[in-house]
């Protein structure tokens, strides 16, 4: 059996079973930990992403060639890109029920969200896309990654057994967009920023429900205004590197 096929099978086994156990049995753990302050319970949300990260970390070491790295070819630019949404949340502030000052909580929840997004992106773009691209053309790799991303969430085991089939095309489109950025910038941190800002603006109710439409627009406009020229510059740098 081809070693890459074995690695892919292990990836599916490790990450999907881990997340399946979490989403199907989460209620047992939350019942046991019911006395833990709700602020600390936030960190339980990292459990499925940690399984994805650990499995990917172990398997990524076996890859012969790695086109992406944590910061790509420019740590400074990657750090700037991922820090912009965090700074925006820090300045705007995020209301919360934990009794934490708004700006301080904005900084915390911004970092928290980006760490979660990084754990996911290390798996999707840092490992799976890297593994699939040599075997298939990039579009097939993106579709497989997006569909696996959907399965990994096990929506039909959550929130009233709603399968949320509409998320399949959304996650495939997201895999195409973020996948192209991973390919052109080679930076997992930049992919993390793209993933994270979607979570901030639309997915994580603990943040998105506390932000007005105007505040969301400000975060998005400021981020894109800074990101686009930096990403274009990185793409040109990587193109020059490839030609040498």
pLDDT (0 to 100) of residue 79: 97
DSSP annotation of 101 reads -
Q: What is the pTM of this model?
A: 0.94
Short-list 42, 43, 47, CA closest to 97: 42
Q: Are 81 and 230 in contact (CB under 8 A)?
A: yes
Q: What is the mean pLDDT of residues 6-30?
A: 88
pLDDT in tens, 151-193: 999 988 776 678 899 999 999 999 999 999 999 999 999 999 9
114: nearest Cα among 225, 215, 198: 198
- 187 φ/ψ angles, rounded to the nearest 5 degrees: -115, 120
CA distance 149 to 137: 18
pLDDT digits (tens, 9 = 90+) for 113-141: 999 999 999 999 999 999 999 999 999 99
**Cβ–Cβ < 8 Å for 87, 200:** no
- Identify whether the C-beta of residue 72 lies closer than 8 Å to the C-beta of residue 234: yes
Phi-psi region of 87 (alpha: psi -120 to 50; beta: other; left: phi over 0): alpha
Give the model's pLDDT for residue 2.
83
3-state secondary structure (DSSP) of residue 69? strand
211 or 1, which is more confident?
Answer: 211
DSSP-assigned letter for residue 44? G
Handedness of CA 180, 181, 185, 190 (dihedral sign): negative
Q: Is the dihedral of CA 149, 153, 154, 159 positive or negative?
A: negative
Q: Contact at 8 Å (CB) between 47 and 204?
A: no
DSSP-derived letter for residue 53 is: H
Asked whether the CA dihedral 120, 19, 107, 219 is positive or negative, the reply is positive
Selection from 243, 226, 241 nearest residue 78 by Cα: 226
What count of other Cβ atoms lies within 10 Å of the Cβ of residue 175? 25
pLDDT digits (tens, 9 = 90+) for 49-103: 999 999 999 999 999 888 999 999 999 999 999 999 999 999 999 999 888 999 9
What average pLDDT score do residues 208-217 get?
Answer: 97
> Of the candidates 177, 192, 190, which has an alpha carbon nearest to the alpha carbon of residue 238?
190
Residue 243 buriedness (CB in 10 A; 0-12 / 13-18 / 19+) = exposed
Distance (Å, whole) CA 125 – CA 242: 20
pLDDT computed for residue 34 by the predictor = 63
């Amino acid at each position: 059996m081809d070693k890459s096929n074995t690695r892919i099978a292990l990836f599916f086994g490790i990450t999907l079973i881990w997340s399946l156990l979490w989403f199907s049995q989460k209620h047992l753990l939350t019942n046991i930990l019911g006395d833990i302050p709700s602020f600390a319970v936030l960190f339980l949300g990292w459990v499925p992403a940690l399984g994805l990260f650990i499995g990917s970390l172990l398997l990524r070491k076996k890859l012969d060639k790695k086109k992406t790295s944590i910061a790509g070819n420019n740590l400074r630019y990657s750090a700037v890109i991922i820090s912009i949404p965090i700074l925006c949340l820090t300045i705007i502030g995020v209301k919360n029920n934990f009794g934490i000052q708004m700006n301080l909580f904005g900084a915390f929840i911004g970092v928290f969200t980006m760490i979660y997004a990084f754990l996911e992106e290390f798996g999707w773009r840092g490992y799976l896309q890297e593994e699939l691209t040599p075997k298939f053309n990039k579009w097939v790799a993106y579709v497989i990654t997006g569909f696996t991303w959907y399965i990994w969430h096990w929506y039909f085991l959550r929130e009233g057994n709603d399968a949320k089939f509409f998320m399949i095309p959304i996650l495939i489109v997201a895999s195409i967009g973020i996948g192209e950025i991973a390919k052109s910038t080679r930076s997992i941190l930049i992919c993390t920023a793209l993933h994270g800002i979607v979570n901030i603006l639309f997915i994580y109710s603990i943040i998105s429900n506390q932000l007005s439409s105007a505040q969301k627009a400000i975060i998005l406009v400021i981020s894109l205004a800074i990101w686009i020229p930096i990403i274009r510059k990185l793409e040109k740098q990587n193109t020059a590197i490839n030609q040498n």
